Amino acid sequence: MNWRAIHAIYRFEMARTARTLMQSILAPVISTSLYFVVFGAAIGSRITTMEGVDYGSFIVPGLIMLTLLMQSVMNASFGIYFPKFTGTIYELLSAPISFIEIVIGYVGAAATKSIILGLIILATSWLFVPVRIAHPVWMISFLVLTAVTFSLLGFIIGIWADGFEKLQIVPLLIITPLTFLGGAFYSVNVLPPFWQVVTFVNPIVYLISGFRWSFYEVADVSVGISIGMTLAFLVACIVVVWWIFKTGYRLKN
Amino acid sequence: MQDIITVSGLSKTYATGFTALKNVNLGIRRGEIFALLGPNGAGKTTLIGIVCGTVNPSAGTVTVDGHDNVTDFRAARSLIGLVPQELTTDAFESVWATVSFSRGLFGKPKNPAYIEKILKDLSLWDKKDNKIMTLSGGMKRRVLIAKALSHEPKILFLDEPTAGVDVELRKDMWQVVRDLRAAGVTIILTTHYIEEAEDMADRIGVISKGEIILVEEKKELMRKLGQKRLTLQLQERLSSLPAGLFGASQLSLSNDGDELTYTYDTQAERTGITRLLASLNEAGIRFRDLSTKQSSLEEIFVGLVHQDRNGGAK
Ligand SMILES: Nc1ncnc2c1ncn2[C@@H]1O[C@H](COP(=O)(O)OP(=O)(O)O)[C@@H](O)[C@H]1O
Ligand SMILES: [Mg+2]
């Protein structure tokens, strides 16, 4: 293992993050605040509690997940797409490093950034509503696991994308809708039976459910299933990344 | 001595179906400067890409200092520095950061003094904190060279390093290359400026349409394939070549009629010089002075590729 190379990639990516720190932090903080104003004040005046939890507090885990998923996918996909786009990827390909090191460097940096943002969202939420964390260790575990998994997904998207549009499409057209439909703002139980079934095909339901359980001990599905599905998704991403690197898909001619 | 790079049976067919390399065999000697010459699209960049790991070969193997570049890629690649043909650089990073990054990527411990030396040698020191995107094309080229040298490679690939580069940089760069060679680094370069190959290279390989047509010591190549020109300065101007002179097809008269040039092949059994001089004497043409000149590598090269294109002898 070439640890120095991993460190170099990680530092490089974190420096990129640091350069755009203000906008990376400001945008999610502002949108989170807006969610509290809109959902908490407007809708919350009609729905006071959900599953016995104050509505404003209920949506906190969903909001954190929303940021976490979006940021993980966007950071990681952009991180690897950019060298492909500019051609500087030649250096990664000609360096004495294996693809494992490239993945650890890029995915590690993307996950780090989205975890930091997730924690900032958590802190912001605290300003608006009471937040209780029943199982902090599980909360952090879900946070890290989700960040890593979706950074891997982002990495895959960044390699697959051959234009900036494709980079945008997946987060906007897939991640956001799935998160909204995945119970970020409501309990799946409030849906009609048919839509409940449809919802359980959505992998993000399991992430949000498990994450929310670590806060309030209320869940749409059992925690075991949440953890199992999250791990399964992680493994699926690892398999795809492994295949990409084995074949040099969209990396080497 | 064992070759430092051995390329065996290397072929490359791109996804488009285009075959860019056809069964290439090549050995690069330790410590030499090897110039790879060939027209655009000959396959130079593809060949370098396969050796360095940026392009997958379709068939064949490459060993670098005894290490297979696929099965033992870490050992193979850590010996190689690559300066790519295109100016592919980061934009927002500083010169210092990007060069240090390269060193880290190759697994070398930090060595600020060494990086300082490279940047100074390449006249980049006063730009070390500048963002790369603010640099001129020539400066970016220097940055790419600095990145390639940052990890102290034993082998350096320079893919058309002087294309579109100012005189200043060329001078600096060739000085760096000479210093590297003196330090035992093997250098493989491709260039369009044949004078540079002529100036710098120990050996020359010519590639055309994905095939290595020839590999030769530069001196040997010049001697073997060189045509020579005999130039006679005439005492009296001629308005045209008199009929019946010996070797008329190899003769040409300068525009103002005071110089006669005879082109001959040094390899030919008889150069025909004696007979030419006798023939001139008979025609009463006298000359003041004469000189001979070896043809340049460029002329040799153009001749070779032309021959190959016409399906002629290799
Ligand atoms: N990625 C690619 N896909 C298809 N054909 C390519 C690709 N890269 C290069 N080629 C073709 O392969 C040939 C050799 O290219 P290259 O190695 O860049 O030549 P050189 O460096 O000698 O100019 C050219 O005809 C080029 O068009
Ligand atoms: Mg080229």
pLDDT tens-digit series, residues B138-185: 899 999 999 999 999 999 999 998 777 788 888 888 889 999 999 999
Q: Is A150:A72 a contact under the CB 8 Å cutoff?
A: yes
First to last CA, chain A: 25
The pLDDT value given to residue B104: 97
Torsion of CA B49, B55, B59, B65, to 10 degrees: 50
Chain B CA closest to residue A5: B105
CB of B86 within 8 Å of a chain A CB? The answer is yes
Percent of chain A with pLDDT over 90: 48
Tokens of B286: 């006298």
Residues 6+ apart with CB under 8 A from A57: A129, A130, A131, A132, A215, A216
Shortest Cα distance from A253 to chain B (angstroms)?
Answer: 5
pLDDT tens-digit series, residues A204-229: 899 999 999 999 998 888 889 999 98
User: Which residues have CB under 6 Å of ligand 1?
Assistant: A 253; B 14, 16, 18, 20, 38, 40-46
The pLDDT value given to residue B271: 83
Pairwise CA distance, residues B294 & A49, whole Å: 95
Residue B136 gets which letter from DSSP? -
3-state secondary structure of B54: coil
CB of B108 within 8 Å of a chain A CB? The answer is yes
Residue type at A53 in one-letter notation? V
The pLDDT value given to residue B171: 85
The pLDDT value given to residue B226: 65
Residue B134 gets which letter from DSSP? G
Tokens 């005999």 — which residue?
B230
Mean pLDDT computed over A5-29: 88
Q: Smallest Cα–Cα separation from A110: which of A62, A158, A161, A61?
A: A158
Pick the residue whose CA is nearest to atom 5 on ligand 1.
B14
- pLDDT exceeds 90 at position A135: yes
Sign of CA dihedral B283, B286, B291, B297: negative
Pairwise CA distance, residues A219 & A62, whole Å: 12
| Inter-axis angle of helices B137-149 and B112-121, nearest 10 | 140
The pLDDT value given to residue B130: 96
Q: Is A43:A127 a contact under the CB 8 Å cutoff?
A: no
The pLDDT value given to residue A169: 87
Q: Which residues of chain B have pLDDT under 70?
A: 1, 192, 223-226, 295-301, 303, 305, 307-314
CB of B68 within 8 Å of a chain A CB? The answer is no
The total number of residues written for chain B in this structure: 314
Pairwise CA distance, residues B90 & B165, whole Å: 19
Residues 6+ apart with CB under 8 A from B12: B19, B20, B21, B43, B46, B50, B55, B57, B58, B210
* Disruptive mutation site among B95, B105, B133 for chain A (greatest number of A CBs within 10 Å): B105
The pLDDT value given to residue A46: 72
pLDDT tens-digit series, residues A183-203: 888 888 888 888 888 888 888
- pLDDT exceeds 80 at position A42: no
Rounded to a whole number of angstroms, the CA Rg of chain B reads 24
The pLDDT value given to residue B314: 38
In terms of C-beta density within 10 A (0-12 exposed, 13-18 middle, 19 or more buried), how is residue B114 classed?
middle
CB of B70 within 8 Å of a chain A CB? The answer is no
Residue A43 vs residue A30, higher pLDDT? A30
Shortest Cα distance from A85 to chain B (angstroms)?
Answer: 10
The pLDDT value given to residue B310: 61
Least confident of A11-25, A76-90, A105-119, B144-158: A11-25
- pLDDT exceeds 90 at position A9: yes
Sign of CA dihedral A202, A107, A69, A248: negative
CB pairs under 8 A between A and B: 80
pLDDT tens-digit series, residues A150-170: 999 999 999 999 888 888 888
Measured from the alpha carbon of residue B39, the closest ligand is 1
Sign of CA dihedral B296, B297, B302, B306: positive
The pLDDT value given to residue A193: 85
Atom of ligand 1 nearest to the CA of B159: 21
The pLDDT value given to residue B312: 43
B74·A248 Cβ contact <8 A: no
Pairwise CA distance, residues A35 & A57, whole Å: 12
B90·A86 Cβ contact <8 A: yes
* Disruptive mutation site among A90, A93, A98, A246 for chain B (greatest number of B CBs within 10 Å): A90
B108·A94 Cβ contact <8 A: no
- Chain B residues with beta carbon closer than 8 angstroms to that of A93: 52-54
CB of B19 within 8 Å of a chain A CB? The answer is no
- Chain A residues with beta carbon closer than 8 angstroms to that of B14: 253
Pairwise CA distance, residues B28 & B123, whole Å: 30
CB of B78 within 8 Å of a chain A CB? The answer is yes
- pLDDT exceeds 70 at position A44: no
Tokens 């006071």 — which residue?
A48
